[in-house]
């Protein structure tokens, strides 16, 4: 089958509400700084009522990554569930406007489109409270084999491990991808997600996954250790490629016994770290899909992450293809 | 009656969709650069489908001004019509989150919340296509006398001259304000609005208005002349105070035979001119409400405008009270 897409991603279709917040606000709201907390509709409304004025922008971890792939000039597809409401239309518009394929039927007469309230503290750190709404209604039925089989890399968002039906959809997608000889990538998404689904994730990695994205918190949580290097080594024993980010300290890319330390790109001021990991994954996978060596893939990831943390919002504001060209990548 | 508010504003309650655009896009869409075009639902959908990915943010000219007043530390109220939909909730949240009074009942089972699609070209100029939706259903019934009578300045958005019912609401508000000895201000909003309603606007100015905000296009259109100074003089003959902006050339404040030329504050890079006039009005009226001399009112306007054009989005991202303090204003 023709490779129509560099990356096809499955993730939660979410619209972000981004607002500035104080550290005191996080304490008052019992929020764990830097994490993603799932909230129900009632709690969601209470948090929103207490938040500062915000800006709405299409988000969702894998959705952001797809926007990054498109910005690099890659071909991308997204699979995820919105509702038929205004925010669902916003998400759909933004996905199609970047040129990505997005054709998952919206959920009608059910829960609203997922919303993630992102409180950004003055240090640029984002703390997320997410109401998953319609996005949890993504099922195996929504897996379009034609899209999965036509993608060089099938990328799965770890957050979906929270929804039973979506986990089954992952298994279906992974099966289709493997049968077509496609590469399967996953991001661990969040330390708490890893904590909630450690065994299932480990089993899935060992049997289905080629490439894993994680940050330092997630990888050490996965192997229940405080030793970062040991955790990366353990991850490498399970998958072909591990790309593990460490915030301002850059990332480590490990594969087939080789390990590359990739520095972070310097930024003038960190405004909002939302989407840093998502854009790292975008740069990395775009590099991989276009045949770059692994250290260059890591550099493309670092570059994309540096762009997104220098402004509010989870998706690139500049053309990443042009930005990469100016950096000789 | 106690003065509870520095400014109470009546305007279209609008959520903006802001996206980057090329000059070619404006040509293709037959848009007049820098202007505001009213569109129906069908045309609105077509424009949205053709636009780049956007960011959603509460807007509306008078709503933006109220956000500026609140950012300066002023007390503010807003009157305008949203629908009971998701974007209406966003607008309501943002208005209340800045501490402004906003209590106009939403329109139920009718048109959707107004949306303005703002295409920002690389020169920072914004071109707006607005679907007025629910906002045109603002009527005299929505004028809360307690709010109007408790405001030092009642500020009216010229865009509402396009809706017959809203024009009647203006007359009611102006009557209440005059009876309570309040100052009545209006912005002419847009050259095309002036063109559509010249006679009605002139009549309203002469009989009801103390303070007029306009830009160079609007004031010369109002008096059908190309002579800027003559237009300002003509405006002065009708109202007590005229504050006329000229983009990068700053503004002219004229009152009682005196005229002040107020320079624009320099900005490093003009990113998006959306909200420049709205924030100028905010700074000016905050100055007036707090008893500053007219030239300082103009400087506060220039300062607020300089902040908003240095980033995407129609409302201040920094605290204008603090910003003014650092500038000795």
- pTM of the complete model: 0.93
> Which candidate from B55, B58, B67 shows the least CB-CB separation from A57?
B55
Q: For A102-118, how does the pLDDT look when each residue is reduced to its tens digit (9 = 90+)? A: 999 999 989 999 999 99
Residue A121 belongs to a domain:
no
Residue A250 belongs to a domain:
yes
> Which candidate from A54, A85, A87 shows the least CB-CB separation from B94?
A54
How many angstroms away from the CA of A36 is the closest CA of chain B?
22
ipTM value: 0.89
- Name chain B contacts of A83, Cβ cutoff 8 Å: none
The span from the CA of A87 to the CA of A58, in Å, is 9
- Name chain B contacts of A85, Cβ cutoff 8 Å: 85-86
Residue B119 belongs to a domain:
no
Token match 């994205």: residue? A213
> Which candidate from B97, B313, B315 shows the least CB-CB separation from A51?
B97
Chain A positions with Cβ closer than 8 Å to B: 17, 19, 48-49, 51-58, 67, 85-87, 90, 93-94, 97-98, 112, 313, 315
Q: Which of A20, A47, A56, A120 to mutate to test the interface with B (most CBs of B within 10 A)?
A: A56
Q: For A4-31, how does the pLDDT look when each residue is reduced to its tens digit (9 = 90+)? A: 999 999 999 999 999 999 999 999 999 9
Could you tell me how many residues make up chain B?
329
Q: For A62-79, how does the pLDDT look when each residue is reduced to its tens digit (9 = 90+)? A: 999 999 999 999 999 999
Residue A247 belongs to a domain:
yes
Closest-CA residue in chain B for A312? B312
Domain with residue B142: its CATH number is: 3.40.1190.20
pLDDT in the model for residue A162: 86
Average pLDDT over residues B254-268: 94
Q: Do B97 and A315 touch (CB under 8 A)?
A: no
Q: For A210-245, how does the pLDDT look when each residue is reduced to its tens digit (9 = 90+)? A: 999 999 999 999 999 999 999 999 999 999 999 999
pLDDT in the model for residue B3: 77
Q: Which residues are bridge partners to B38 per DSSP?
A: B130
Chain B positions with Cβ closer than 8 Å to A: 17, 19, 48-49, 51-58, 67, 85-87, 90, 93-94, 97-98, 112, 313, 315
> Which candidate from A49, A85, A97 shows the least CB-CB separation from B52?
A97
Closest-CA residue in chain A for B113? A86
Q: Helices (H) and strands (E) in chain A — how many of each?
A: 13, 14
Average pLDDT over residues B161-171: 91
Residue B198 belongs to a domain:
yes
pLDDT in the model for residue B1: 58
Average pLDDT over residues B73-88: 98
pLDDT in the model for residue A1: 58
How many angstroms away from the CA of B162 is the closest CA of chain A?
26
Q: Do B55 and A53 touch (CB under 8 A)?
A: no
How many angstroms away from the CA of A187 is the closest CA of chain B?
24
Share of chain B above pLDDT 70, in %: 100
- Name chain A contacts of B52, Cβ cutoff 8 Å: 97
- Name chain B contacts of A93, Cβ cutoff 8 Å: 48-49, 51, 53-54
pLDDT in the model for residue A2: 74
Residue B310 belongs to a domain:
yes
Give the CA distances from residue A291 to residues A3, A28, A262, A294, in Å, rounded to whole numbers and listed in that order: 14, 48, 18, 9
Q: Do B313 and A94 touch (CB under 8 A)?
A: no
> Which candidate from B56, B98, B313 shows the least CB-CB separation from A90?
B56
Q: Which of A21, A41, A53 to mutate to test the interface with B (most CBs of B within 10 A)?
A: A53
- Name chain A contacts of B90, Cβ cutoff 8 Å: 17, 54, 56
The span from the CA of A133 to the CA of A83, in Å, is 8
pLDDT higher than 70, residue B239: yes
Task: Lowest mean pLDDT of A308-312, B78-82, B289-293, name the range.
Answer: A308-312
Q: Which of B47, B48, B53, B315 to mutate to test the interface with A (most CBs of A within 10 A)?
A: B53
State how many domains chain A has: 1
Residue B55 belongs to a domain:
no
Closest-CA residue in chain A for B85? A86
- Name chain B contacts of A58, Cβ cutoff 8 Å: 53
pLDDT higher than 90, residue B208: yes
Average pLDDT over residues B93-101: 97
Closest-CA residue in chain A for B317? A20
How do strand B151-157 and strand B5-10 relate by DSSP bridges? parallel
Average pLDDT over residues A179-203: 95
How many angstroms away from the CA of A52 is the closest CA of chain B?
5
The span from the CA of B75 to the CA of B182, in Å, is 15
- Averaged pLDDT of chain B: 95
Q: For B265-312, how does the pLDDT look when each residue is reduced to its tens digit (9 = 90+)? A: 999 999 889 899 999 999 999 999 999 999 999 999 999 999 999 988
The span from the CA of B325 to the CA of B73, in Å, is 12
pLDDT higher than 90, residue B162: no
Phi (first) and psi of residue A252, to 5 degrees? -120, 130
How many angstroms away from the CA of A208 is the closest CA of chain B?
34
Average pLDDT over residues B33-45: 93
Q: Do B53 and A93 touch (CB under 8 A)?
A: yes
> Which candidate from A52, A85, A97 shows the least CB-CB separation from B97?
A52
Average pLDDT over residues A304-322: 93
Average pLDDT over residues A160-164: 88
Q: Please report which residue ranges of A223-270 form alpha helices under DSSP H.
A: 228-236
According to DSSP, residue B104 is labeled: P
Q: Are A9 and A151 in contact (CB under 8 A)?
A: no
Closest-CA residue in chain A for B64? A53
Residue A183 belongs to a domain:
yes
- Averaged pLDDT of chain A: 95
Q: What end-to-end distance do the CA atoms of chain B give, in Å?
A: 30
Degrees, nearest 5: CA angle B54-B55-B57: 140
Per the structure, the complete domain to which residue B273 belongs is given by 5-13+60-106+133-326
Dump strand ranges (E) for chain B: 5-10, 14-20, 36-38, 55-58, 76-79, 101-102, 114-120, 126-131, 151-157, 183-187, 211-215, 241-245, 251-255, 258-262
How many angstroms away from the CA of A229 is the closest CA of chain B?
40
Task: Give the helix/strand (H/E) hosting A251.
Answer: strand A251-255
């Amino acid at each position: 089958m023709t490779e129509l897409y560099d990356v096809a991603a499955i993730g939660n279709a979410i619209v972000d509400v981004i607002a500035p917040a104080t550290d005191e606000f996080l304490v008052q709201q019992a929020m764990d700084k830097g994490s993603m907390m799932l909230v129900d509709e009632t709690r969601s409304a209470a948090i929103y009522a207490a938040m500062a004025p915000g800006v709405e922008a299409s988000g969702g971890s894998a959705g952001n990554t797809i926007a990054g792939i498109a910005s690099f000039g890659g071909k991308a597809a997204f699979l995820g569930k919105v509702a038929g409401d205004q925010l669902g239309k916003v998400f759909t518009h933004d996905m199609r406007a970047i040129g990505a394929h997005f054709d998952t039927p919206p959920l009608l007469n059910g829960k609203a489109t997922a919303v993630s309230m992102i409180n950004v503290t003055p240090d640029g750190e984002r703390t997320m409270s997410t109401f998953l709404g319609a996005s949890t209604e993504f099922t195996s039925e929504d897996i379009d084999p034609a899209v999965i089989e036509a993608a060089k890399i099938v990328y799965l968002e770890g957050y979906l491990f929270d929804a039973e039906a979506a986990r089954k959809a992952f298994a279906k997608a992974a099966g289709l991808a493997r049968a077509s000889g496609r590469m399967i990538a996953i991001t661990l998404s969040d330390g708490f997600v890893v904590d909630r689904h450690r065994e299932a994730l480990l089993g899935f990695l060992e049997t289905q996954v080629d490439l894993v994205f994680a940050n330092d918190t997630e990888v050490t949580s996965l192997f229940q250790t405080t030793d970062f290097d040991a955790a990366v080594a353990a991850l490498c024993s399970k998958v072909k490629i591990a790309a593990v980010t460490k915030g301002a300290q850059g990332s480590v890319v490990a594969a087939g016994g080789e390990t590359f330390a990739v520095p972070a790109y310097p930024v003038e001021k960190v405004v909002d770290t939302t989407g840093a990991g998502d854009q790292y994954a975008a740069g990395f996978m775009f590099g991989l899909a276009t045949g770059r060596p692994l250290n260059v893939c890591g550099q493309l990831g670092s570059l994309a992450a540096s762009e997104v943390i220098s402004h509010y919002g989870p998706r690139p504001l500049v053309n990443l293809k042009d930005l990469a060209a100016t950096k000789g990548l």
